[in-house]
Structure 1
Amino acid sequence: MKMTGAQVVVNCLIEQGVDTVFGFPGGAVLNIYDALYEYQSRIRHILTCHEQGAAHAADGYARSTGRTGVVIATSGPGATNLVTGIATAYMDSVPMVAITGNVNVGLLGRDSFQEVDITGITAPVTKHNFIVKHAEELAPTLRRAFAIANSDRPGPVLIDIPKDITAAQIDYTPETPKPDVETNTPLPDLGEALDLLTQSQRPFIFAGGGAVASGACDTLAAFAEKIDAPVALSLMGLGSFLPESPRFTGMLGMHGSKASSYAVENCDLFIALGTRFSDRVLCHTDSFAKNAKILQIDIDPAEINKNIPVFASVAGDLGTILTALLRQLPDRISHTEWMKNVQAIKANYPIDRPLDGDTMPYAVLSTLHDLAPDAIVTTEVGQHQMWAGQYFHFTRPRHFLTSGGLGTMGFGLGAAIGAQVAHPGEHVINVAGDGSFFMNLNELATAVTYDLPVIELIMNNGVLGMVHQWQQFFYKEHYSHSVLDRQTDLSALARAFGALPFTIARPADIRPVLSESLQSGRPCVINCLIDPGENVLPMVPAGKPVGDPILSLEKGGGNETH
């Protein structure tokens, strides 16, 4: 059948099961937006306040559902405004398709109005990108983009479409997406991995975002039980292993637990599952797991031996590999003494509360968990992000959405909007710092416009918290431009946007404010006042071994103990 290129775009989205797109219109994508109007009963469009917010919303939609998020932006600045959001998705392996408009094919390369080489700009931060210069290539390119975004290690794909391609009349033949086809690829050799697992006396499992992406959470639990090992998670892996399990040792790395640092220092086999060995995990590469052999299992062969040399590796889907290992491992493996030692450290240095007594962030987040244990929590980046990872006990995958790789301040509110659109019946809370909040507060208007009951929980300490903490620890308390002197009345601001305002000024406010906001069914802004001396601990100083964390520090001072 004949239709315009723009209609082909929308029909291909419908083919791929897309029910929601996020975006912001402009001249180069007006044909696509006209087609969206025509098909509005089949695809919902969420108009954000800024293209970056749209990209983060598509990202949040994808992370919380496992389906591909879709974002649309116009040419030039509309396209470049997507770049941070695309890079955020790329670093965290999130499936996304970004569709940008461009000037007519004949105007490309002439510095035309709102022309930019967006494929050149995004080449380093996309899994693949395309520019469609021939109308007949449009449908195959869109279908290929979705296949690439979802295959192997997921990631973002960009399609740049000149305006005259969307106006062209072309033949379109509908296609049903082909299901993932089992290629009958033989399993890689597991012999070396099996030997290591059966010979180890002190195994330690470290799982990352790959456990979530592969849907391997139950298999991970069975694997840990089978080899009788403790389990730590990366920030991206939270929710993939039950925090109440006696095997769980918390996070590992710069802000990991003492129990995890003990385990990595004393294990004889370090088993890395679906994790890329970030510098924030390794801390000091040369001393990391120095007493252990490292076994790495990852879907992306490029991650193996990239950041740290490993003794053995298996490349493949984590769930598939773990299932095969479970079938081939002996029935009874026991490491009683090892587990006993790890649990003793965990008892002395609890992973689920601050090491130096109750704090406002702990009280707020633990109470929030009591009231809404299954909430989807997004975060911005900074101290509040780490507190959320430490104190909100995530029991389900895809319920903790955070920018782990790129560390994008401004990510959380957009991501919360995307998650709330995808899960209208669930509580969605964005935990923010006051520094991050001012980077994306415009998206409060989006939440209110679409009546999305997102809760914006601002940990307001009047400083750029993590920067301030580093300056306190390592820069002789020279708080250079990290103290915020905002005069904004956050309650008045919330009301101006149409959101409900709340303030937590003292511990007695916590439960009633959180309860009322959760029950309101409306967008809320909670201004939670905390002391700027509240720090994220433990903390491994940059370049120091992961087993040597700072465990306590006098608030406002520089006296540290290990």
Structure 2
Amino acid sequence: MTSSLTEISRPRRNGGQILMQQLRIHGVRRLFMIPGESYLPCIDAFNEHRDAIEPIVCRQESGAAYMAEAYGKLTGEPGICFVTRGPGATNASIGVHTAFQDSTPMILFIGQVGNDFYEREAFQEIDYRRMFGQMAKWVAQIDRTDRIPEYIARAFTVATSGRPGPVVLALPEDTLWGTAEVDDLPRYQRVHSHPGGSDLARMTALLEQAERPLMIVGGTGWTHDAMRDVAGFAERFQIPVGTAWRRLECFDQRHPNAAGHVGWAMTAELRQRVRDADLILAVGTRLGEATTEGYSVIESPMPRQKLIHVYPEASELGRVFTPAQAIVADVASFASAVAKLSPAVHPQRAAWVERAHADYLASLEPLPSPGPLSLDAIAAIASEQLPHDACITVGAGNYALYPHRYRRYTGPGTSLVPTVGSMGYGLPAAISAKLEQPERTVVCYAGDGCFQMNLQELGVALQYRVGVVVLVFNNSIYGTIRAHQEREFPGRDIALSFENPNFAALVRCYGGQGEVVERTEDFAAALARACEFANRENLPALLEVRYDANGIAPGETLSAIRDAALARQRQASAAE
């Protein structure tokens, strides 16, 4: 007799085999790891899934966690990371924190001491519920082998539902070595939140009453379809569109409604436009400290502007800002709904939109900078020279302001940046992006300090033949902190400089190509050579960009910051 479709085979398997089978069912194609004896049964179980799951062996847990986080940003599916207990978990915590503040779906699996040793401070033992409790959506420990499928299914659901984020699961050794006869559970189903008809009607009415509306888009879950639908909605309702802090990929900045990058270091014109808006339509973004410049251009708890806040997590709405209207919806569902909307009366805001876009285009003109190599000029050159769909990854530091300002990002996958502002992100994210989309040009922008926090992941690029291009900006200082130091303690710089290796020579040790660029006029040809090598050889190419440290940000110098701070001190002394 033919078996019923509802009958499920229940072979006896160890915990590692059960877990890896669940990951396969839930659609995992690649995961990032540092091997550890604490989860050996999982590692062994890879043998049964060679055709479906690719394990990427990284060099340090922070790099592995960053790669998983970048995978989550790119795909919308949870990025998977495996690390060992204790030091492995603490090293990986930076990726979990990034995923939490960036609202990225991610699952971190950590080996754990067996339950027979638990609460004895055994070798490398940590209570992960307490350790990760404030930086993850859910932290749990799987203490029974037969409950692994249940925990894995819940982890995928939690990581992707509402506001996406990281889940941490601890895996005691006795759970992984233990065996059970247990059913596999089906693949998780992502739950979407949709705006209701009354939500859309009220929003339309508020927009029709506004004279100077501004849309700010951000967050996760954007697709090309969602971006297209929101762009059409912005056209019909005549609304300029800004991208939230480090969410540059959420809107095609070639579009005539594009208004620029809202947040720290935005142009004076855009800052004033945010202040002058009589209505803010925030879609997918929490409107955090960076986007609102310390809750100043959009004030908390009561904004001067009317605020329509669209966000997938109800608990976030009204938490920091009191909105005129709160809509619980994820960006894809909201975009699909507004694609069907049109204003009842043709709006008269074309000039408002055109001025916003004209100001944005004017900001793309390179500003003057000191020395023979201009970061403003080479950022503009790179933007023009690289394919429009190239993926740009960036860590943290003042150098990041240049690709943020001068690159016109075109949509999902074109920017991978940690909104949490964590250093060392760029290279691991670039490797993850290139593994996921090998035909796409991937360029990592990294400061000399930022790059050295994870440069060992060049070994992953070598091992897996990943042709990324890395631009290392070498000024031999921690530039962002130096700028702050000059503002607060002018002329007293200390403890912020360092000596660097020859980065161009270093990348050659990893099978790559390296060049030093010290003049603006040499950059375009060097970038072309780097891209050609990376694409031809499937190995990393690095340009070490050496420049005058005085040029600290677009249109700013350290000397000018110091002089202004000293002038303020003199004025304050004279007033006493």
Q: Is 1:388–2:403 an aligned residue pair?
A: yes
1:525 corresponds to:
542
Higher relative contact order (CA 8 A, sep 6+): 1
Match of 1:315 in 2: 328
Report the Cα distance in structure 1 between the residues aligned to 2:139 and 2:249, rounded to whole angstroms: 31
SS in 2 for 1:482: coil
Instruction: Work out whether residues 55 and 86 of structure 1, in 8 Å CA contact, stay in contact via their aligned partners in 2.
Output: yes
Alpha-carbon offset, residue 552 of structure 1: 8.3
Instruction: Report the counterpart of residue 439 of structure 1 in structure 2.
Output: 453
Distance 1:146 1:133 in 2: 18
Q: Matched residues in 1 for 2:46 and 2:499: separation?
A: 44
- State whether structure 2 residue 211 is matched by structure 1 residue 201: yes
Aligned match for 1:353, one of 365, 368, 373: 365
CA distance in 2, matches of 1:213, 1:63: 11
The answer on 1:399 being equivalent to 2:414 is yes
CA contact (8 A) 1:238 1:397 kept: no
After superposition, give the CA deviation of every residue in 1:524-546 in whole Å (9 maximum; x if it has no partner).
221011211113247xxxxxxxx
Identity %: 26
Indicate the larger mover: 458-467 or 315-324.
Answer: 315-324
Cα distance, 1:336 vs structure 2: 3.0
2:94 to 84, 109, 125: 84
Give the whole-Å Cα distance in 2 for the aligned partners of 1:240 and 1:410: 23
Alignment of 1:296 with 2:298, yes or no, is no
Report how far residue 484 of structure 1 moved: 2.2
Give the 3 Å change call, closer, same or farther, for CA 36–211 of structure 1 in structure 2. Answer: closer
**1:459 aligns to what SS in structure 2?**
strand
Check whether the contact 1:430–1:454 (CA below 8 A) recurs between aligned residues: yes
Task: Tell me how far 1:181 sits from its aligned partner.
Answer: 6.4
Match of 1:377 in 2: 392
- Partners of 1:294 and 1:67 lie apart in 2 by 30
Say whether the 8 Å CA contact 2:253–2:410 is kept in structure 1. yes
Cα distance, 1:518 vs. partner? 0.5
1:6 maps to amino acid: G
Q: How many residues align?
A: 545
1:500 aligns with 2:505: no
Q: Residue 377 of structure 1 contacts residue 430 of structure 1 at CA under 8 Å; is this kept in 2?
A: yes
Query: Aligned letter for 1:45?
Result: P
More moved, 364-373 vs 387-396: 364-373
Residue type at the aligned position of 1:418: S
Is the Cα contact below 8 Å between 1:20 and 1:45 reproduced in 2? Answer: yes
Give the conservation status (yes or no) of the 8 Å contact 1:223–1:326: yes
Q: Secondary structure at the match of 1:407?
A: coil
Structure 1 contact 212–398 (Cα < 8 Å) conserved? no
Q: Which amino acid aligns with 2:463?
A: T
Q: 1:173 aligns with which of 169, 180, 183?
A: 183
Which residue matches 1:366? Answer: 380
Inter-CA distance 355–371: structure 2 relative to 1 (3 Å threshold) = closer
Coordinate RMSD, CA, aligned: 2.5
TM-score by length of 1: 0.91
Cα contact 1:66–1:213 (8 A) shared by 2: no
Contact 2:193 2:330 in 1 (8 A): no
Deviation, 1:124, is 1.0
Q: Does the 8 Å contact 1:152/1:299 carry over to 2?
A: yes
Per-residue deviation, residues 304-329 of structure 1 (Å, max 9, x unmatched): 23333322221222332344345344
Residue in 2 that maps onto 1:334: 348
Post-superposition offset of 1:97:
1.1
Alpha-carbon distance in 1 for matches of 2:272, 2:29 = 47
Task: Specify the code of the residue in structure 1 equivalent to 2:53.
Answer: I
> What's the counterpart of residue 122 of structure 1?
132
Write the distance in 2 (CA, Å) between the matches of 1:287 and 1:525.
Answer: 39
Q: Where does residue 306 of structure 1 map in the other structure?
A: 319
> Aligned partners of 1:322, 1:65: CA distance in 2, in Å?
18
Distance between the aligned counterparts of 1:466 and 1:11, measured in 2? 46
Evaluate the alpha carbon distance shift between residue 370 and residue 185 of structure 1 in structure 2; reply closer, same or farther with a 3 A threshold: closer
For 1:340-394, what per-residue CA distance to the aligned partner results, in whole angstroms no more than 9, with x for missing partners? 55456556xx222344469722332222233322211111101122211111211
Which residue number in structure 2 is paired with residue 476 of structure 1? Answer: 490
| Runs of 5+ consecutive residues of structure 1 not aligned to the other structure | 539-550
State whether residues 214 and 319 of structure 1, in contact with CA within 8 Å, keep that contact through their aligned partners in structure 2. no
Letter of the 1:17 partner, please give it.
G
SS at 1:173's partner residue?
A: coil
Alpha-carbon displacement from aligned partner over 1:421-470 (angstroms, at most 9, x marks no partner): 11122221110000111111111112112111122210111211211222
Retained in 2: the 8 A contact 1:433–1:460? yes
Distance in 1 (alpha carbons) for counterparts of 2:402 and 2:356: 23
